[in-house]
Amino acid sequence: MRRNFLGLLGKAWLALILVFLYAPILVMAAMSFNASPFYQLPFEFSGAWYQDMMANEQIFTAAARSVLIAAATTVLATAFGTSASIALFRYDFRGKRILQVLLFPPIAIPWLITGTAMLIFFFTIGIGRGTPAVLIGHVALALPYVIVTVSARLSSFDITLEEAARSMGASSWTVLRRVTLPWIAPGIVAGGLFAFAVSFDQFVVSYFLSKPGDTTLPVLIYTSIRKGFTPEINAVSTIIIVLSMAVMFLAARYSRFGGER
Amino acid sequence: MAEALLPTERRRLVSLLSPAYLWLLVAVFLPLSAMLFFSFLTGLPQDDPDWGVTLANYGKFFQNPTYPALLWKSLKLGLWVTGFCILIGYPCALVLAKSIKGRAREALFLMVILPFWSNSLVRIFSWAIVLRGNGVLERTLNFLLPFDVRLNLMFTREAVVIGLVHSYLPYVILTSYLALQAIDDDLIDAARSMGASKLTILRRLLLPLSLPGLLAGAVLVFVPVVGSFMEPRILGGRLGTYYGTVIEDQFVAVYNWPLGAALSFILLAVVLLILALTSPVLKRART
Amino acid sequence: MSRVEVSNVTMEFGQTTALDDVSIAFEDGGFFALLGPSGSGKTTLLRTIAGFYFPKSGTIRIGDRNVESVPVEKRDIGMMFQNYALFPNMSVADNIGFGLRVRKVPAAEEKKRISEALDLVQLGALANRRPSQLSGGQRQRVALARAIVTNPKVLLLDEPLSALDKTLRVDMQIELKRIQREVGITTIFVTHDQEEALTLSDRIGILRNGRIVQAGPPREVYDRPVDEFTAGFLGEANWLSASLLEDLTLPAQVDGHRFGTRPEALRISADTPDAGQNAVRGQVRQRIFAGAMATCLIDVGGSQWKLIARDRDIPELPGDGQVWVSWSPEDTLVVRA
């Protein structure tokens, strides 16, 4: 009986954690449909904040900019990251370990430090603040995630398949296109989705690198929150969180992240 | 092997690698070097023609007791948040990895880590709605409990800790889960066949074997928490001054970039020290 | 050391019945092999005796205690796993000492018993190694030492030799048998390798579809299988078609039985064999030389028989391949039809 008791306790614990993780998000989503701008209860349904949001041009341009930057980041980081992963997988060369270790600073160093360092450097070399600077920063942050994800997929790739294809007379380009890339495609898709999420959710680096009044959506949300709560931010936030969870859900499905296959 | 590459292969290797690594060079490594350089300057070269080299920015950190005190405050915050994440997250990972089986496990695991990949700013903001006085939490508690509770956690240190634990908890669960899942169930069966209780198995088998994973999770929580500034700003209000917010101020409010760079580098040094101290245990994870 | 008795045990996993009313006794100090194809329930039976599973109905006695509802950790058993399940974070000595420490054995005695166990498996020099630094055979010995150091009532072995290569496996079989004799512990051994079961054990239980089909000493089970499945599982068998039975001396009545022979019980000759022998006509299809032994594939009344004999005992075959195949009547296998 002790067994069952412990098992039950564990499941209860897990349930509590899920409540802890999801409750505030659900509350926020509910409040985005609440008529009162000060989160007054009882709850009264209203779609007004979503209408306000649609009418708010600032939110609209920031959202468009965020999506654009995330899309560009996805394309660049996925292309560069995949080619680097293939090189790291296929060739043995001096300094390979160092190149692999160099992927960790962008992940492990607090974004506050990376972001301020980028700000200083981009200012010094004349790029300054603005969308190009944000894009450069986002791609750099996304690259390690893509390389790690694609490399993980590659590690299960049987190199003799490439050798077999070459023994049949395929050029190395054909081998890449017909054998290697199809195998790692799920890894590339997952890496691309990670890249999109890293960019779309990125606040810290965008905050330091974007021009005031010309920002991405998370930065706009931050400045609005600091100026005082505005209920249409609830609406935007709800949309963002649903969107980013959907993207990550897809990424997880593609990369079998944590699953046993 | 390194010498065995043919010239054509070498060219292909370079062309495959260089876009990614040149990008990282320009966007991460050169900026970090530039920041190190700036931290020794008296002023910005573009603003101040008489700029010179100095140690004064680092001197300020040690002369003004506010900075070390804030760094300590941030480190303490990091310890609190990391501690809570471990206490809450490790048992959760344990339940997921060793007590739940099959498809339910995969689905629950995904549910636990999913919020972590969603927008952290928005999640922090959602806590602001829950925690404020006369907010959802207070009302729920008053509804459930027979006595009246006054609960205004907003703009307190507790609010900051709750928000940060919420943000980073999935890290600890993720790394601990992966480490625990890699432990062969036969080991647990073997220990049981020798008469070990659940507690003995946890203490002598599961905990030592999953320690690298747990520690990796702890580092992944501690490092960003020490450098956090957005969470204390939103949830901490006036009390939310931490080392990270001071650095932020140097760049967006005070515009003392050299001081900001020096403060950042001190933080980076602390972070690297922590990584160096934990790396022997983390390396063990591979063997 | 104790007698183990399983009575009317039924185990279910969801919809599937893994053990179906199993009753079997394991004598004190005996070496008992549970043999069966995969999915036959042999591992389930072992793990139910161990206490990892609790039967839906039935009783299990270890010694004079009913244990069917006692969890593993309180059953006082020793178990060895297919992949050894050595704790990678502990040295060889700590692995062996784990069960002693759980039982709060005093430190001095713990040390003494660890070194005795290490001597028993001849690994005294490796006490401070980690499992990852050991060879497969050494790991195997550590796992065995770990399973018996606490003097459990019964030793349970779950395919313990299947991860070893052929030569090492034969060495370990001899070693396992020696240690079991020395310690005198009741041992239950699960395997799907019939040769291993026949070599090691003094009793065998054959399982199929969650039931015990036959149990007894190896020779008896081999020579007197109760059904075609058991006969085929323990070795090869040639079955006699009904049309051949007329002129043969049979140990049982024809109704309700099938008759067969083991390939090694057969002799081959060009001339008519002695009276008193069972003999049938056959056509040799193929003779396969394999060093000391040879195999002949013979067509007997339309079905293919196999004969195994020392190569030198097989005579020169006539050009047309027509031969007599003969065997002693008492070597005839009789099984339920």
Residue B278 lies in a domain: yes
Residue C252 touches chain B, beta carbons under 8 Å: no
**CA neighbours within 13 Å on the CB side: how many for C63?**
11
The minimal CB distance from A105 to the residues B28, B108, B198 is found for B28
Do the chains contact at C103 and B205, CB–CB below 8 Å? no
Q: Which residues, at least 6 apart from B80, have a Cβ–Cβ distance to it below 8 Å?
A: B161
Do the chains contact at C72 and B193, CB–CB below 8 Å? yes
Q: Which residues of A touch B247 (CB under 8 A)?
A: 112, 116
Nearest one of C136, C71, C123 to C96, comparing CA atoms? C123
Do the chains contact at B194 and C99, CB–CB below 8 Å? yes
Query: How much is the pLDDT for B46?
Result: 72
Of the residues B24, B99, B175, B225, the best mutation for testing chain A's interface (the one with the most A CB atoms within 10 Å of its CB) is B24
pLDDT in tens, A38-83: 666 667 788 888 888 888 888 889 999 999 999 999 999 999 999 9
Residue B184 touches chain C, beta carbons under 8 Å: yes
The minimal CB distance from B190 to the residues C85, C103, C150 is found for C85
Query: Of all helices (H) and strands (E), which one includes residue B20?
Result: helix B7-24
Q: Which residues of C touch B193 (CB under 8 A)?
A: 50, 72-73, 77-79, 147, 156
Residue B108 touches chain C, beta carbons under 8 Å: no
Neighbours of A25 (CB within 10 A): 22
Torsion of CA B101, B106, B108, B109, to 10 degrees: 110
Query: How much is the pLDDT for A40?
Result: 67
Residue B23 lies in a domain: no
Residue B117 lies in a domain: yes
Residue A127 touches chain B, beta carbons under 8 Å: no
Residue B271 touches chain C, beta carbons under 8 Å: no
Residue B218 lies in a domain: yes
pLDDT in tens, A201-210: 899 999 999 9
Residue A261 touches chain B, beta carbons under 8 Å: no
Nearest one of B88, B204, C147 to A18, comparing CA atoms? B88
- What mean pLDDT comes out for the span B102-107? 84
Mean pLDDT of chain B: 88
- Give me the sign of the Cα torsion angle B267, B273, B278, B284: positive
Q: How confident is the model at residue A153 (pLDDT cuts 50, 70, 90)?
A: confident
Mean pLDDT of chain A: 86
The minimal CB distance from B21 to the residues A20, A23, A84 is found for A84
- Whether the Cβ atoms of residue A202 and residue A141 lie closer than 8 Å to each other: yes
Do the chains contact at B195 and C99, CB–CB below 8 Å? yes
Domains in chain C with CATH codes: 4-233 (3.40.50.300), 239-336 (2.40.50.100)
Chains that touch B (3 or more CB pairs under 8 A): A, C
Phi first, then psi, for residue C296 (nearest 5°) are -115, 135
The residue range of the domain holding B128 is 64-286
Neighbours of B275 (CB within 10 A): 16
Query: How much is the pLDDT for A229?
Result: 61
Do the chains contact at B195 and C102, CB–CB below 8 Å? yes
CATH code for the domain of B175: 1.10.3720.10
DSSP-derived secondary structure letter, A211: B
Residue B57 lies in a domain: no
Amino acid at C175: E
Q: How far, in whole angstroms, is CA C273 from its chain's centroid?
A: 36
Query: How much is the pLDDT for B173?
Result: 93
Q: Which residues, at least 6 apart from A188, have a Cβ–Cβ distance to it below 8 Å?
A: A78, A82, A150, A153, A181
Mean pLDDT of chain C: 91
Residue that is written with structure tokens 């997929």 in the block: A153
Q: Which residues of C touch B209 (CB under 8 A)?
A: 88-89
ipTM of the complex: 0.87
- Whether the Cβ atoms of residue A207 and residue A222 lie closer than 8 Å to each other: yes
Tokens of A76: 């660049």
Residue C88 touches chain B, beta carbons under 8 Å: yes
- What mean pLDDT comes out for the span A28-35? 84
Residue B75 lies in a domain: yes
Neighbours of B142 (CB within 10 A): 15
Residue B30 lies in a domain: no
Task: Give the Cα separation of A100 and C40 in Å (integer).
Answer: 49
Q: Degrees (nearest 5) of the Cα angle A134, A137, A138? A: 85
- Residue A1, class by beta-carbon neighbours within 10 Å (0-12 exposed, 13-18 middle, 19+ buried)? exposed
Residue B277 lies in a domain: yes
Q: Which residues of A touch B12 (CB under 8 A)?
A: 87, 172
Q: Which of B41-50, B77-86, C68-77, C243-252 has maximum average pLDDT?
A: B77-86
Query: How much is the pLDDT for B261?
Result: 94
The verdict on pTM exceeding 0.90 is no
Buried b or exposed e, range C194-212, using 16+ CB within 10 angstroms: bebbbebbebbbbbbebbb
Q: How far, in whole angstroms, is CA C224 from its chain's centroid?
A: 16
Q: Degrees (nearest 5) of the Cα angle B105, B116, A235? A: 120
**Residue B216: helix, strand or coil by DSSP?**
helix
Residue of chain A whose alpha carbon sits nearest to that of B260 = A116
- Whether the Cβ atoms of residue B48 and residue B42 lie closer than 8 Å to each other: yes
Of the two residues B287 and B116, the one the predictor is more confident about is: B116
With a cut of 60, say whether residue A259 has pLDDT above it: no
Residues 7-46 of A with CB under 8 A from B: 7, 10-11, 13-14, 17-18, 20-25, 27-28, 31, 39, 41
With a cut of 80, say whether residue B185 has pLDDT above it: yes
Query: How much is the pLDDT for A261?
Result: 34
Task: Give the Cα separation of B27 and B17 in Å (integer).
Answer: 16
pLDDT in tens, C266-319: 998 888 888 888 889 999 998 898 888 999 999 998 889 999 999 888 888 887
Size of interface A-B (CB pairs under 8 A): 262
The minimal CB distance from B189 to the residues C85, C88, C99 is found for C85
Q: Which residues, at least 6 apart from C99, have a Cβ–Cβ distance to it below 8 Å?
A: B194, B195, B196, C78, C146, C149, C150
With a cut of 60, say whether residue B285 has pLDDT above it: no
- Residue C49, class by beta-carbon neighbours within 10 Å (0-12 exposed, 13-18 middle, 19+ buried)? buried
Domains in chain A with CATH codes: 56-229 (1.10.3720.10)
Residues 49-78 of B with CB under 8 A from A: none
Q: Which residues, at least 6 apart from A172, have a Cβ–Cβ distance to it below 8 Å?
A: A166, B12
Closest-CA distance, B114 to chain A, in angstroms, reads: 6
| Total domains in the fold of chain B | 1
Query: How much is the pLDDT for A168?
Result: 86
Residue that is written with structure tokens 């949300």 in the block: A221
Could you please report the per-residue DSSP string of C145-210? Answer: HHHHTT--SEEEEESTTTTS-HHHHHHHHHHHHHHHHHHT-EEEEEES-HHHHHHH-SEEEEEETT
pLDDT in tens, A234-247: 888 888 888 878 87
Task: Give the Cα separation of C289 and C295 in Å (integer).
Answer: 7
Please state, in angstroms and as integers, the Cα–Cα distance from residue C41 to each residue in A216, B101, C19, C200, following that order. Answer: 62, 22, 6, 20
